[in-house]
Amino acid sequence: MALAYSLPSNLAPSTVQNTASFLRIIALAFISGAAIASRLFAVINFESVIHEFDPWFNYRATKVLASQGFYEFWNWFDPTAWYPLGRVVGGTIYPGLMATSGVIYNILHALNLPVDIRNVCVLLAPGFSALTAWATYMFTKELKDESAGLLAAAFIGIVPGYISRSVAGSYDNEAIAIFLLMFTFYSWIKALKTGSAFFGTIAALFYFYMVAAWGGYAFITNMIPLHALVLILMGRFSSRLYVAYSSWYAIGTLASMQVPFVGFQPVRTSEHMAALGVFGLLQIVSFAYLVKAHVSSKQFQTLLFVSVVTIGILGTLGIVGLTYKGYIAPWTGRFYSLWDTGYAKKYIPIIASVSEHQPTAWPSFFMDLQFLVFLFPVGVVLCFRELRDEHVFVIIYALVGTYFAGVMVRLMLTLTPCVCVAAAVALSTLLDTYIDPRMPDTTDTPAPDTDRVSVAGATTSEGTPKKTKKDKTPAAEVTQKASINDFATGFEVLGSILEKDKPPRVAGLDSRIVVVGVALYLLVFFVQHCTWVTSYAYSSPSVVLASRNQDGSQHIIDDFREAYYWLRQNTREDAVVMSWWDYGYQISGMADRPTLVDNNTWNNTHIATVGKAMSSTEEVAYPILRKHDVEYVLIIFGGLMGYSGDDINKFLWMVRIAQGVWPDEIQEPNYFTPAGEYRVDAQASQTMKDCLMYKMSYYRFSNLFGGSTPVDRVRNQHLPTTGPTLDYLEEAFTSENWLVRIYQVKKEDSLGRDLKSANAFVEGKKRKRAKPPVRRKAIVASS
Amino acid sequence: MAPQKTATKPQTSAPASPVESLWKAYSDNTSKRLKFIDSFLVFLMLSGIVQFLYCILVTNFPFNAFLAGFSSCVGQFVLTASLRSQVNPENKETFKEVSPERAFADFVVGSIVLHFFVFNFLG
Amino acid sequence: MKSPMLVVLLAFVASTYAAALALQSPKFTVSSPNGDQIRSEPISLTKKSSPVRLGPQDVLRVTFQVTENDGGTGVQPHQAFLRFYDNISGEDGLQPVRVTSNGKARFELNMARPPSSFPPTSPDSVLKVSLIIGSFVHKPLAVDLFDLIVPASQPVASHPEEVYYHPQPVIEHTFRPEQKTPPAFISAVFSALVLAPWVVLVGLWSQLSPKVPNLFSLKIIPFTATLGAFELLLVWYWVDLRLGQVLLYGAGLGIVAVFTGKTALVQVGKLRKGSI
């Protein structure tokens, strides 16, 4: 057989094998290194700090776990959150993340490595991304081969879609959850392939870990049953499927119920019923197969088939009936919002108010996945080519994942591993074809087409053609004149790849070099893109902001921490701080003060109370504040700096959430101008100008401009030169760039006046002498 | 196992001869080893059914203890059923990589993990 | 020792300075809107006169002089109020009275335009009118003057904050009802039922009577022993141990089990291959 380039022939096969596995290990080590290193931009550009919002709570919880031990953590009741309600933390969190870093912390200390718990937390996500790369390698290896696995590992290591959730300091559940997701899937595939209960048990254990770590475990809970169901419907039931699924489900479900936050949900809610249903179906089907093996009577088998179908239908009806009767909880709102994207906005404004719950904009697909977007469909199509059980899994995963990623920005994360796997399969197939030195065999009979040669079946050296697939065309076609049009060749080769029986061959060295070169160029460009996106877009801690000075040097804006430390240093330890819920975790984490609401949005009414206080007038808000013992109100104001994520921009959500509870007192349209615009300047509606949030934001703002017109740089609007006045609150602190403003709630006037008139008195305004009220009212004669 | 139980129902309504022939085929073609496992399966099934009846007829309190007991039966049942199908010589083609010893080791590992969770859940 | 002395001393001082106040010639007059006198009487401080009735337009005048002791010189007290108190509704009104420097005072109540402090009344309410006089140097004086019946007004409008001045209902925590344990008999029956399958199991197994020729061979018994140890450990966990301990011991036992299991199963595999 002709070779495109010469291969060394004097090597023993064992040498080749050892070198290959050695190289694989080296490559995996490098991939892990790259995965970790690319996530350290955040630490290098800023510092080793916990990012964003939720991580601050996780960090705080981890500190409790590390300092007080596991059982204390389990029973932790936090009286400072959701003041005055408090929060049972142990029973309302997924403890997997904290437990993981607690274990790592304890191990390091047992080895006499006195690492700070904060650094463990900051570096946990990068560390686990290396493990994710390894798990993806193992998964892809089961699909295709080792080289595809290495490609997939490299992709998942640096793809921005995953980096966005796992940079150093982003200490959130997703940091470890993606590793667990991939490893659970890997064990499932492995269990299915070998039919081993051992791997089923491993899958169950990692499923348990996943349940303990992330609410997204429901994805696994429904993916695996869906896969099993599809396999049954495709007529691919086997004892292996029975062993793998049953061992996974029986152990995994029992294990998942050990997590207090999940509790009895696996037997009580609709989200988990699919898994139970498939489990029951599998038992019936396998029993039927067993009976079938013993009885050959045709009539009996028909009866068996009918009875299996009847029981299946009856079971489904039973589950529906139980749901109807209320024994099984129906789908939750969060689930509905996945099917109907408008649902959340209508019924659960809290969920809709989070930006990462919005539908995904298409450019972010490209931003997060770059050229993997194009390779992804190719990989999925290639999965159809072999269509073993595990390929069916990838195809289902791709469909489901794509849908979910389109519905919610946040779920891009679950799609990313699948994209990496599929793209790696596609790219490695391409490279395999083009690097393979064997030339097409030209000695065979020429095809009817004059300048083309069909590659005959004789060249199939791999053998073992699959019998189920029907041939579409007799032979794969590859042009000989590859040098004329390499891209055409590329497409045709890809096309011929789809013809599964005959592995395609490429002629000539030049076409190989061009195609491989283009692929390499794409890869290099991908690396460059990932590095750029990571360093610029995804590494900002959002607690610390950065801007560029005019000379290009970096300017750090540290207003948040400045304000939180001010609170920590200057207020009483039990002073309640009210803010919008986004900042609850940060206040309790950095300032260590009780908060009314925080990012664990479990109590809608409480949040609506805060929203009402923010969106009503001072007179209305003051009793609310006093009743909740609020001493300080913290708001974020970006008008001076041009920081668009400030409270005025979130304000409409506060109004909407408050309106959901008090529709008579708060109405969204009142906050718009008559023309329906959302304005903060002189044309703003009176309700808007009177509300607490507006007043707190622009209080004394005009003083900054010394008489000239004040400009809000976020909304690009000119404000009136005389700003609002405050009677019931007084300014306590404003950070350097006015990003955080803290107001103190005044106590009741010591002379019993209302604060408005007390203020007027201080300012020297004469009060109109009012007559005392007349208590006695004469009866008016009826005649 | 509830579904198993219901699965047998239609057969009893069928003419007696197929059931008899089924029973005959079963006792003739099944090795002693498999019958040994099968009797264990029957035992687990009966235990599970009794516990389920108790839950429905009397009380489901304490629910976690019931779940632990019931799912230990179910879990042990499916693990044993897996073991049975793995050591069944008829399935040799399906389980190329699983020798009977390996199957037993899997069974042991699965059972220990299952029992750990059962005891953890028992309360 | 010290305090009783002090009290005695203070009492002595008070008695010397706090000479009593008295009312001289208290008198009231009721006149109709056109100026006709309807009733005019001196007020007896010892015996109450019959209630004074006022029409919707009538005017009540009260005059008196405040003197030091009985028949002494007139003094100006620091404060003087007329109190109108409704016994039934508990409403009252305090109206300050201006007293001149020689102790003379005159108060006029025009029912057409009552002062803002005047309490609302119901048809059958009788207002007790009393005079309260306070002074720095004299003992305070409070005298009931007479009863007053005035036309009814509209009922009392409740104060907007009135609701806050009542005892709030006690917050009672509601707990889930205690779970009932079934009767002992039913428990016993079901315990027996749950144990019954063991009989079935033993019966079936004894019928099959499986042979375990190699159970007690040296290579296999450690494995069965470790498995037994595992179950014991888990029971111990249920009874006593904590999670961390059981994971630690379990890991140790697991390592042992891997080795014993490997030897045992290899042995079994050999036996099986040999037997085939």
Q: Residue A572 belongs to a domain with what CATH number?
A: 3.40.50.12610
Interface test with C, best of B5, B31, B42, B47 (most C CBs within 10 A): B47
Partners of B106 on chain A (C-beta within 8 Å) are 196-198, 201
Lowest mean pLDDT among A441-450, B59-68, C221-230: A441-450
Q: List, as one string, the DSSP characters of A32-81.
A: HHHHHHHTTHHHHHS-S---SSHHHHHHHHHHHHHHH-HHHHHT-EETTT
User: How many Cα atoms sit within 13 Å of A190 on the Cβ side?
Assistant: 19
Full residue range of the structural domain in which residue A499 is found: 441-462+474-507
pLDDT in tens, A680-706: 888 888 888 899 999 999 998 888 888
> Residue A129 and residue A124: Cα distance in Å, rounded?
9
Q: Is the dihedral of CA A227, A230, A232, A234 positive or negative?
A: negative
C-alpha Rg value of chain B to the nearest Å = 17
| Locus of tokens 């009538």 | C58
> Residue A555 and residue A549: Cα distance in Å, rounded?
6
- Is the Cβ–Cβ distance between A361 and A385 less than 8 Å? no
Confidence at residue A492, expressed as pLDDT on a 0 to 100 scale: 55
Question: What is the CB neighbour count within 10 angstroms for residue A637?
Answer: 26
> Residue A611 and residue A693: Cα distance in Å, rounded?
10
Confidence at residue C190, expressed as pLDDT on a 0 to 100 scale: 87
- Is the Cβ–Cβ distance between A519 and A430 less than 8 Å? yes
- Work out whether strand A452-455 and strand A576-578 pair parallel, antiparallel, or are unpaired: unpaired
| A779 or A731, greater pLDDT | A731
Restricting to A residues 239-258, those with a Cβ less than 8 Å away from any Cβ of B are 239-240, 242-243, 246-247, 249-251, 253-255, 257-258
Partners of A777 on chain C (C-beta within 8 Å) are 120, 153-154, 157
A757 and A692 both lie in a single domain: yes
Confidence at residue A781, expressed as pLDDT on a 0 to 100 scale: 57
Q: Is pLDDT at A191 greater than 50 in this prediction?
A: yes
Separation in Å, CA of C190 to nearest CA in chain B: 7
Q: Whole-angstrom distance between the N-terminal and C-terminal Cα of chain B?
A: 24
Separation in Å, CA of A660 to nearest CA in chain C: 27
Q: For every one of its 276 residues, what pLDDT tens digit does chain C have, with 9 covering 90 and above?
A: 455 665 665 555 555 555 788 888 888 888 888 878 888 888 887 777 788 888 888 888 899 888 887 667 888 888 899 999 988 888 888 889 989 888 888 888 888 888 888 888 888 888 889 999 988 888 888 888 888 888 888 877 777 777 778 888 888 888 888 888 888 888 899 889 888 889 988 988 888 877 766 667 778 888 889 999 999 999 999 888 888 888 999 999 999 999 998 888 888 888 877 755
Q: What ipTM does the predicted assembly reach? A: 0.87
> Residue A727 and residue A757: Cα distance in Å, rounded?
9
Restricting to C residues 208-227, those with a Cβ less than 8 Å away from any Cβ of B are 208, 210, 227
pLDDT in tens, A522-566: 999 999 999 999 888 888 888 888 877 777 777 888 889 999 999
A vs C: CB pairs below 8 A: 37
Q: Would an 8 Å CB–CB cutoff place B61 in contact with chain C?
A: yes
- Is the Cβ–Cβ distance between C246 and B81 less than 8 Å? no
Strands (E) across A421-550 are located at: 452-455, 476-479, 545-548
Cα-Cα-Cα-Cα torsion A267, A271, A277, A279, nearest 10 degrees, comes to: -70
Q: Would an 8 Å CB–CB cutoff place B42 in contact with chain C?
A: yes
A580 and A727 both lie in a single domain: yes
- The answer to whether residue A310 is domain-embedded is no
Q: Mean pLDDT over residues A351-376, rounded? A: 84
Separation in Å, CA of C80 to nearest CA in chain A: 20
Q: Is pLDDT at A355 greater than 90 in this prediction?
A: no
Residue in A70, A772, A779 nearest the CB of C153:
A779
- The answer to whether residue A318 is domain-embedded is no
> Residue C200 and residue B41: Cα distance in Å, rounded?
11
- The answer to whether residue A584 is domain-embedded is yes
Partners of A306 on chain B (C-beta within 8 Å) are 10
Inter-chain touch C120–A775, beta carbons under 8 Å: yes
- B29 CB-near residues (< 8 Å, 6+ apart): A294
Confidence at residue A293, expressed as pLDDT on a 0 to 100 scale: 79
- Is the Cβ–Cβ distance between A668 and A688 less than 8 Å? no
Q: Would an 8 Å CB–CB cutoff place A236 in contact with chain B?
A: no
pLDDT in tens, A568-601: 999 999 899 999 988 999 999 898 899 999 888 8
Confidence at residue A248, expressed as pLDDT on a 0 to 100 scale: 94
3-state secondary structure of A715: coil
| Locus of tokens 């940091």 | A175
Separation in Å, CA of B42 to nearest CA in chain A: 13
Inter-chain touch C201–B62, beta carbons under 8 Å: no
Closest to A38 in 3D by CA, of A635, A720, A531: A531
Q: Note the residue count of chain C.
A: 276
Confidence at residue C4, expressed as pLDDT on a 0 to 100 scale: 60
Closest to B10 in 3D by CA, of A689, A307, A297: A307
- Work out whether strand A630-636 and strand A576-578 pair parallel, antiparallel, or are unpaired: parallel
Closest to C262 in 3D by CA, of B81, B104, A190: B104
* Token reading at A575: 């002073």
pLDDT in tens, B1-58: 333 433 344 444 445 567 787 788 888 878 888 888 889 999 999 999 999 998 888 8
pLDDT in tens, A494-529: 555 555 455 667 777 888 889 999 999 999 999 999
Partners of A779 on chain C (C-beta within 8 Å) are 151-154
Q: Mean pLDDT over residues A610-615, rounded? A: 92
Confidence at residue A759, expressed as pLDDT on a 0 to 100 scale: 83
Confidence at residue B107, expressed as pLDDT on a 0 to 100 scale: 92
A551-587 in b/e burial notation, b at 16+ Cβ within 10 A?
A: eeeeeebbbbbebbebbeeebeeebbbbbbbbbbbbb
Q: Mean pLDDT over residues B89-97, rounded? A: 80
Q: Mean pLDDT over residues A77-99, rounded? A: 89
C-alpha Rg value of chain C to the nearest Å = 50
3-state secondary structure A651-672: HHHHHHHHHHHCCCCCCHHHHC
**Inter-CA distances, A261 with A265, A268, A426, Å:** 9, 13, 40
Maximum average pLDDT range among A156-165, A445-454, C203-212:
A156-165
Phi and psi at residue A768, in whole multiples of 5°? -70, 130
Confidence at residue C7, expressed as pLDDT on a 0 to 100 scale: 60
- B59 CB-near residues (< 8 Å, 6+ apart): C179, C180, C181, C182
Give me the residue spans of the domains in chain B: 32-122
> Residue A154 and residue A28: Cα distance in Å, rounded?
8
Angle at A156 between CA A155 and CA A162, to 5 degrees: 130
A498 and A591 both lie in a single domain: no
- The answer to whether residue A590 is domain-embedded is yes
pLDDT in tens, A620-652: 899 899 999 999 999 999 888 888 888 998 898
A503 and A570 both lie in a single domain: no
- The answer to whether residue A751 is domain-embedded is yes
Q: Mean pLDDT over residues A197-226, rounded? A: 93
Q: Mean pLDDT over residues B99-108, rounded? A: 89
Interface test with C, best of A75, A769, A775 (most C CBs within 10 A): A775
Mean pLDDT score of chain A: 84
Phi-psi region of C30 (alpha: psi -120 to 50; beta: other; left: phi over 0): beta
- The answer to whether residue A7 is domain-embedded is no
pLDDT in tens, A8-62: 878 888 999 999 999 999 999 999 999 999 999 888 888 888 888 889 999 999 9
Domain count, chain A: 2
